[in-house]
Amino acid sequence: MPSIHASASVATEAIGVGASIGEFAVVRDGAKLGDRVTIHPHVVVDGGVLIDDDVEVLPGTFLGRAPRAAGAVAREPSFQRGVSIGAGCAIGANVVVYHDVEIGEDSLLGDGASIRELSRIGSGNVVGRGVTLDRDVRIGDRSRIMDKSHLTGGMRIGNDVFVAAMVVSTNDNSFGRAGYVEEETRGPVVEDGAMVGGGASLLPGVVIGAGAIVGSGAVVTRDVEPGSTVMGVPARPVD
C-alpha cells in the first residue's frame, strides 16, 4: 500500500506499491506513480505525468508545468500534455519540468534545473544544478551537463558528451530582432564523446564533432572537426 500524508492532495488512484507522498504535495487526476516512488513535501505532479518505479522527487518540484506566453513572447507555445520519467531517476529540489518532456531511466536532475517543452533526455544522464534546457533540446545517453549551463532551443547533444559548468549556447544570430523565425533558429550540435570546457560559448548552428574538445572560455563561431581541440576567442584548432 502507498503511504500518503493526510495534508497531501491526491486525485489519482494510479499509485504503485510502496509509493510515498509527503506533506502538502499535490498529485492531480491523470498522473501515474510507479512502485516505490517517493514524492517529497510540496511537490506538484500534474495530470498526464507518468513516473516509473523507484523515482525520488525532492521538495518544491513541479512536474508538468504548462508553458504560457505573455505579450512580449514572439512565439505561441505548442505542446502535448504529458511527462514521462523513467525508472530510477532522481529529481532534485525546485526542479521545473514542463509538459511534453521525456526523461530516460537512471537520470539525475539537479536542484533548480528547468526543462522546457518538447525536450527529450535519454538514459543515464546528469543535468546539473541550475541547468536550463530551452524548448526542443535533445540529449542522448550517458551525457553530463554540469551546473548552470544553458542549452538553447533546438540544441542537440549526443551520447557520452561532457558539458562543463556555465557553458552558454545561442540559436539566433539576429538577437530576436526579426521575431521568431523557425527556419533561421538553429541550436548547436555536440556529437558523441565531445567535451566542452567551462564557460565556453557555442554560437548558433555550430557542430562540435565527435570526440572533439572545446577549451574553457572559448567562443565557438564555426564547426569543430571530429577529434580536434579548439581554444580561444574565436576558437581555433590547437595541436
Q: Exposed/middle/buried for 105, CB within 10 Å: 0-12, 13-18, 19+?
A: middle
Per-residue pLDDT tens, the chain, 239 aa: give them. Answer: 899 999 999 999 999 999 999 999 999 999 999 999 999 999 999 999 999 999 999 999 999 999 986 666 656 778 899 999 999 999 999 999 999 999 999 999 999 999 999 999 999 999 999 999 999 999 999 999 999 999 999 999 999 999 999 999 999 866 666 655 566 679 999 999 999 999 999 999 999 999 999 999 999 999 999 999 999 999 999 97
- Half-sphere exposure of residue 177, counting CA atoms within 13 Å on the CB side? 3
The pLDDT assigned to 178 comes to 62
**Do the Cβ atoms of 143 and 163 come closer than 8 Å?**
yes
Structural domains of the chain sorted by starting position, each given as residue range(s) with its CATH number in brackets: 1-67+80-133 (2.160.10.10), 162-239 (2.160.10.10)
The pLDDT assigned to 100 comes to 98
The three grid cell numbers given for residue 228, joined into one nine-digit string: 580536434
Cell numbers 514521462 correspond to: 84
